[in-house]
Structure 1
Amino acid sequence: MLSFTTDDLRPQDRFDHWCEVRGKTLFGVTIELERPQRSDFYGRFSARGVGGAIVSDMQASSYRIGRTNADIARMSGNSLCIGLQVRGPGMLETGRGSRQYVQAGSLTISHSDLPFQATPERSDGFEYRMLKIPLSADLLVGARGHDLFAAGLPHTAPQARPLEALFMALTRADVPPTDAESDVVHAARLALIIRGRLAAGSVEGRAALRAGYLHAARQILARDLRRPDLSPERVAAELGISLRQVHVLFEPTGQSFSRTLTTLRVREAAQLLRARPSRPVADVAFHCGFESLSAFYRAFQGVYGMTPRDLRQAESEPRRTRPQPEAAMA
């Protein structure tokens, strides 16, 4: 884990430090900012390894940034970069006669060793998150990756939702993916498919798509688990796939759609039972999407091996080991 901030530096030193020490020697970019704006500059950066890739997160004052041929010659990387403009939209240029508007919440795909220049639209700072994946012959499976000039992800692409889901799963710091190395490869291949470098119908392409849709389905379950009407049909409709495909997505996990949803609901209920000891059990059960109290008790017993009341009693006794759910969703 690498992390640093300008907070501990003198205000008059912050931009120069960020520009020269961080920008040129770590990021491999050229940074520009009008002199009157430098006294209020701030920057925070963190990076960590995930499945052989690097996830980085940056928050800073607004500035112009570019990767020049000189920057590339000094610091090459041969990596696929998938970036999320969390906050702070702007214009992106690649020196190829076109300008693209990158809005907040959108993904971009690029190769690390191609020039670009980005200009912020606003002056109130930005946040940018990136997944940087080293390219190899095994990952590329014959596809081209070196010519991927920076471009926004078209939301109309069939693979857009699966790629977004994989990106979010890989860049979450609180819940690391269970098979990060495979997910990194799948994310890279979905990006290559979207940019027309890899065939969607290839063995690798189909595997990447299944992995992405599985993460997308899990996101829907986590988001809507409190809805009693959450069903495979609803998930299939949102993802634009068949009902059978939804069930097939969960087969490799060893847990069905129904079992996965039930475990998520029980875990949510357990958190509420711990946080609100006086809240009625029935209220917790219905709040978490269970349609009957008896169904909730059966599900809770199956996951934790005890009743909700037993859980609360165990939580009130600090010497006892807290009960853990089964490994169904580990």
Structure 2
Amino acid sequence: MSTYEAETWATHGLSATSRVDHWHDALGETHLLFDVAVPQPVRATFNAELTRRRFGELALVDCTVDPCSGHRGRQELAVDPGWAGVLVIGSGRERVSQAGREMVLGPGDCVVWDGDQAVDFEVLEPLRKRTLLLPRERVMGLGGSFPAHIAAGSAHSRLLAGYLDMLSRELDHLDGPACAAAANAALELMRAVVAPSAGGDLRTIVLPQIKRWIEARLHDPRLSPREIAATHAISVRTLHALFAATDESVSEFVKRRRLERARAELLDVPGVAITKVALRWGFPSAAHFSRCFRAEFGLSPRELRQDGMPSEAAGP
């Protein structure tokens, strides 16, 4: 289970007079300091709820909120230089103004914002959004200009929103190392989104990281697409999509790399038993290993050894 418990703030059950103050405090605690306002007709029924999940040095915040507005100016910036973040709209509409740019965001839109710049927001209708918060220096060093708008329906917005959706579902079930891996993957996605010319296509950013993780665990017989996807907080479908442009599926990649590592061991360690090599690299039996080996290399493990060394070194 995750070592990071979800934290929740909500105005439900509070008096009408204290809801705005509670929203102001919750927003400052989970995002950044804002001078907030709620339209008078909405005050009596105003509701907002925030859930924060921290992982590594990042935080994922889910928010539902009724119409309101906020201003982050010189006074707030002096107290709280803050974070950078990427916001993904789930439903509703929000107007955001920063650095002389005004954007009206709707479902599927993403925006990357800089917490060290003045900003205004206005929730135009009941809103559901998700925000990934990152240390500002981790984002500012990527280049690019802020705010950075990622339009709904683009490849970047779909993959980023899908990744954050999966994070929201899986973070409560990930242990510390898995949370760290998920944080690293999120940072690499941000690199590609903010500075695509430097970061390249999202697949080229995420896939090498997943492959490195697999390489370190090839000996584990339980290694599977489901485990790989869960550890990196993505869906199995997304995992398969990342491998789709390569010449092999994720399962084929795992099998090939196991066979290549096994082949190297057979040649480098003449005295090791073939059965032991098969089990060490995740194969359930020597017979299954031999069939896969022949299909990959055109000869059996024993024949490989007979071609290059004395037959008595082959082992059982």
CA-CA distance at 1:150 after TM superposition: 2.7
Distance in 2, Cα, partners of 1:187 & 1:212: 12
Aligned residue type for 1:168: D
2:151 partner SS: coil
- Cα 1:205–1:68, aligned 2, differ >3 Å: closer, same or farther? farther
2:44 partner SS: helix
CA-CA distance at 1:81 after TM superposition: 0.8
**Identity across aligned pairs (percent)?**
16
Is 1:171 equivalent to 2:176 in the alignment? no
- Cα 1:206–1:55, aligned 2, differ >3 Å: closer, same or farther? same
CA-CA distance at 1:28 after TM superposition: 0.7
- Equivalent residue number for residue 115 of structure 1: 118
- Equivalent residue number for residue 198 of structure 2: 199
- Equivalent residue number for residue 219 of structure 1: 235
How many residues are paired up?
Answer: 231
- Equivalent residue number for residue 273 of structure 1: none
Is 1:90 equivalent to 2:94 in the alignment? yes
CA-CA distance at 1:14 after TM superposition: 1.5
CA-CA distance at 1:132 after TM superposition: 0.8
2:53 partner SS: strand
Q: Of residues 150, 167, 170 in structure 2, which corresponds to 1:153?
A: 150
CA-CA distance at 1:126 after TM superposition: 1.7
Distance in 1, Cα, partners of 2:251 & 2:117: 39
Is 1:60 equivalent to 2:95 in the alignment? no
TM-score normalized by the length of structure 2? 0.59
- Cα 1:76–1:175, aligned 2, differ >3 Å: closer, same or farther? same
- Equivalent residue number for residue 208 of structure 1: 206
Range with greater deviation from structure 2 (37-46 or 10-19): 10-19
Distance in 1, Cα, partners of 2:237 & 2:12: 39
- Equivalent residue number for residue 16 of structure 1: 21
Q: CA RMSD in A?
A: 3.9
Aligned residue type for 2:98: T
Tell me: higher relative CO, structure 1 or 2? Use CA pairs within 8 A at least 6 residues apart.
2
Q: Of residues 75, 80, 83 in structure 1, which corresponds to 2:84?
A: 80
Distance in 2, Cα, partners of 1:104 & 1:140: 24
Gaps of at least 5 residues in structure 2 are: 1-5, 212-227, 259-316
Matched-pair contact (CA < 8 Å) for 2:36–2:71:
yes
Gaps of at least 5 residues in structure 1 are: 223-231, 256-330
CA-CA distance at 1:54 after TM superposition: 1.2
**Following superposition of structure 1 onto structure 2, how do residues 122-133 of structure 1 map, counting pairs within 5 Å?**
122=125, 125-133=126-134
Aligned residue type for 1:143: L
Once the two structures are superposed, what CA deviation does each residue of 1:66-116 show, in whole Å capped at 9, x if it has no partner? Answer: 322322221122x331222222212222141x3222112332222222222
Matched-pair contact (CA < 8 Å) for 1:95–1:116:
yes
**Following superposition of structure 1 onto structure 2, how do residues 248-327 of structure 1 map, counting pairs within 5 Å?**
251=254
Matched-pair contact (CA < 8 Å) for 1:23–1:30:
no
2:235 partner SS: helix
Aligned residue type for 1:193: A
Distance in 1, Cα, partners of 2:132 & 2:87: 6
Aligned residue type for 1:151: A
- Cα 1:23–1:187, aligned 2, differ >3 Å: closer, same or farther? closer
TM-score normalized by the length of structure 1? 0.57
Matched-pair contact (CA < 8 Å) for 2:33–2:72:
yes
